[in-house]
Amino acid sequence: MRLPRSFYSRRTLEVARGLLGCILVHRAPTGTAAGMIVESEGYLGPGDGASHARFGPTPRSEIMFGAPGAAYVYFIYGMHYMFNAVTAPPGTAGAVLVRALEPMYGLDVMEARRGMNDRRLLTSGPARLCQALAITVEQNGADLCSGPLGIEKNISFGDGEVEATPRIGVAELAGEPYRFLVKGNRYVSR
């Protein structure tokens, strides 16, 4: 069952925590693949020095100010795609970067896309999971509540099973616990 728009309409960090245990699925023309979200990071609007929305709406970040439940996919370092789910009410910027998945189905498709069969490395990182699930900028703006790319309800993790840490690679906000991960999960990126 797809997560409803109301799920994404909440505060960004609540959504980031709530996505753990949900299934990210992409029914692409080249094959369907999916995995359970085991790591996520929240990005807020103006005031969050690491967010694309820190300067307000720009051509790149305007999607973060739009409808919750949209996909925000961008290209980074001239080689990688990153998948985010837009959060918060329209006009309030927010997005959750999905950092890692535990592969669930479509393993053969993921292995072919990644050119490898090491299951632990298939989706343990935001660029890896995008490659494994064939998520590119073509999915930017896609409605996660309907269509071939979406997030489905699966299981919930209790507070004792989840850790909140600072985001990875964000020196200016090193102390903020905006990253959420399933403790001990072998597919977490670091």
Write the DSSP string, 80-93.
EEEEEEE-SSTTS-
Tokens of 157: 């993790």
Section 18-38 average pLDDT = 98
Indicate the domain borders of the chain.
Answer: 5-182
pLDDT-based confidence at residue 37 (cuts at 50, 70, 90): very high
pLDDT at 166 over 70: yes
Which one-letter DSSP state was computed for residue 29? T
Torsion of CA 148, 8, 18, 178, to 10 degrees: 110
What CATH fold (topology level) applies to the domain 5-182? 3-methyladenine DNA Glycosylase; Chain A (3.10.300)
Q: pLDDT tens across 99-150, in order?
A: 999 999 999 999 999 999 899 999 999 999 999 999 999 999 999 999 999 9
Percent helix / strand / coil, the chain, rounded to 5? 25, 30, 45
Tokens of 10: 């909440």
CB burial of 142-164 (b: ≥16 within 10 Å; e: otherwise) equals: bebbeeebbbeeeeebeeeebbe
Q: pLDDT tens across 155-164, in order?
A: 999 999 999 9
15 by DSSP, 3-state: which? Answer: helix
Section 14-32 average pLDDT = 98
Write the DSSP string, 101-164.
EEEEE-HHHHHHHHT---HHHHSSSHHHHHHHHT--GGGTT-BTTSSSEEEE------GGGEEE
